[in-house]
Amino acid sequence: MAAGGLSVLFCGINPGLMTAATGHHFARPGNRFWPVLHLSGFTPRQLRPDEQDELLSYGLGITNVVARATARADELTAEEYREGGRILVAKVERLAPRWLAVVGVTAYRTAFGEPKAAIGPQERLIGSTRVWALPNPSGLNAHWTAATMAEEYARLREAAGAPEA
């Protein structure tokens, strides 16, 4: 779910099994993407996964690094990440969002060959698109709470010049 002229294109790692079954990004009930997106001010209310198309009205979109659905991201190979990164670069060059937000720093490191990348804005540009690595909102990522993730997502929102919804 992406279009040209976006403020931020969020990029998940790959579809989980629930996402693959429903066709809706971040569909697993324990995933914190939708609550964090709202808490960070990107959306005026918490959207449900089946309302993902509403993101376009806020200048936001969603894609994935890897298209193959798995139960866990650690089932993906490094080559799948690298190939996904190449495909993602082509998509970003075509759509030219202001920001690409990769949701998962480990996925970013592997897909783009930047093993020392940290959460936050990256040096990399894809055409004129800036890149930001965000914490993974999966319930398996216990290092980040919804509140601390929302703070990081809000930093991106402010950098992107997106008004608080």
Confirm if 110 and 82 have CB atoms less than 8 A apart.
yes
User: Half-sphere exposure of 51 toward its Cβ, with a 13 Å CA cutoff?
Assistant: 13
Q: Which contacts qualify for 74-77: CB closer than 8 Å, 24 or more apart? A: 76/13, 76/14
Q: Please give the Cα distance from 64 to 102 (Å, whole number).
A: 9
Tokens coding 35 = 């609550």
> Known catalytic residue: 136?
no
Which residues lie closer than 8 Å to 28 by C-beta, 6 or more apart? 16, 18, 19, 138, 139
> Known catalytic residue: 25?
yes
3-state secondary structure 37-63: HHHCCCCCCCCCHHHHHHHHHHCEEEE
Confirm if 61 and 55 have CB atoms less than 8 A apart.
yes
Q: Which of 24, 25, 31, 38 is catalytic?
A: 25
Q: Which of 14, 31, 64, 136 is catalytic?
A: 14
Residues marked active site are found at: 14, 25
